[in-house]
Amino acid sequence: MSETELPRDHFVSRGYQQNFASPDKRVTVISVASGRVVDAGRPIKSNFREQGFTTFLEAGVPNDLLEKAFVSVEKRVLNEIRSIGINRCGPQQKADVANLFAIHLVRSPAFKDFHRDIGDRFRAVDVPDFANNPEYIERFEAFEGRPPTEAELLELALRAYDELASDPMSLVMTMIRQHDAIAEKLNGFHLQVVALADSRLPGFVIGDTPVVHADLRSGRYGFRDRLALGDANFIIGPLSRTTAACFSARPLRPELIRTRKRVDAINAEFLRAASSEVACHPEDARAVRQAHTRLDRLPPSILTG
């Protein structure tokens, strides 16, 4: 990689994807729009990544502060995630899942779009209020020796905001702060582990937005639908091909899944939450495609009713 070339960063980490992959570390990738197979055996090293997703150029040199911050957490957490089951889901496991979920909630295309929309709304609504604040008008007069001309303070405020918003480090620091806040919030909930009872059942999928936070009453899914985590009433994510985890306000017993319909209902939520694609073990592709054709018969009420 040259000095000015940015790497292709994973927004769903390779170690996480590996929990759903074949022994040669490949997954089948399926479009959530059509239900068709996009790639029957894509290497996880090439999946769910984008050039310069979290790395940016600073003085001509790639800055990977965010990658380093998250990788240091993931290395430890992913080893623990692989050992979680219905008989191993205590406080430490809850903290590990909370960290994994928090990383993938903020390190996602949907969160970047959500962050940009909030910024655009702030620029349009809140920045003009600063320009009309009598205190700032007085400060301008004291500094310049004259009152501001019409719209002068607004132009200054917008210029200052645009400089701040265009700095890539602003998004990086927001992601780090939000990770910490989300992990803390998830740790305040109860963890429920869900596991397949029979190896003959198809496995869980992992989406390009792996962690689902949804308001099932309104049908809004994640940051894509401008839903904050605090407004969600349903939080679930896959841990591996055979296990998933939910966070809930009240304690729920670990669940062993014994029916194909139950697996399909959970995968339906992962399909609904994904932005573009989901990935699965190649042996599960047929079942996932079938579930996609039956989404209207797999409502969230199957899981919450």
Secondary structure class of 124 (helix, strand, coil):
helix
Integer angstrom CA distances of residue 157 from 128, 136, 161, 225: 8, 10, 6, 29
What are 166's two structure tokens? 């265009």
**Average pLDDT over all residues of the chain:** 91
Most confident segment among 3-7, 23-27, 299-303: 23-27
Query: 121-125, 189-193, 295-299: which has the minimum mean pLDDT?
Result: 121-125
For the chain, percent of residues with pLDDT exceeding 90: 63
What is the reported pTM? 0.87
Give residue-wise pLDDT tens across range 107-127. 998 888 888 888 888 888 888
Using DSSP's 3-state secondary structure scheme, residue 19 falls into: helix
Indicate the pLDDT class of residue 4, thresholds 50, 70 and 90.
low
Grade residue 58 by pLDDT with cuts at 50, 70 and 90: confident
* Domain coordinates in residue numbering, the chain: 8-57+90-304
Long-range CB pairs of 181-188 (<8 Å, 24+ gap) are 182/98, 182/101, 182/102, 182/105, 182/106, 182/229, 183/95, 183/98, 183/99, 183/101, 183/102, 185/229, 185/230, 186/97, 186/98, 186/101, 186/102, 186/235, 186/247, 187/94, 187/95, 187/98
Phi, psi for residue 100 in degrees, rounded to 5 = -60, -45
Which pLDDT belongs to residue 94? Answer: 96
**Over 70: is that where the pLDDT of 3 sits?**
no
Q: For residue range 213-254, what is the model confidence (pLDDT) as tens digits?
A: 999 999 999 999 999 999 999 999 999 999 999 999 999 999
Distance between CA atoms of 62 and 68, rounded to whole angstroms? Answer: 12
The CB-side HSE value for 261 (13 A sphere, CA atoms) comes to 8
Pick 186 or 171 by higher pLDDT. 186
pLDDT computed for residue 90 by the predictor: 93
Q: Across residues 72-81, what is the average pLDDT?
A: 86
| In contact, 84 and 239? CB cutoff 8 Å | yes
Please choose, from the candidates 60, 108, 101, the residue with its C-alpha nearest in 3D space to the C-alpha of residue 84: 101
Burial annotation 249-270 (CB, 10 A radius, 16+ → b, else e): eeeeeeeebeeeebbbbbbbbb
Res 29: pLDDT:
98
Alpha-carbon distances of 2 from 10, 50, 63, 273, rounded to whole Å: 19, 17, 13, 36
Question: Confidence band (pLDDT; 50, 70, 90) for 59?
Answer: low
Tokens of 189: 């909930």
Tokens of 87: 């008989």
Distance CA 53, CA 154 (A): 32
| Residues 243-275: tens digit of each pLDDT | 999 999 999 999 999 999 999 999 999 999 999
What does the CA dihedral 252, 258, 260, 266 come to, rounded to 10 degrees? 20
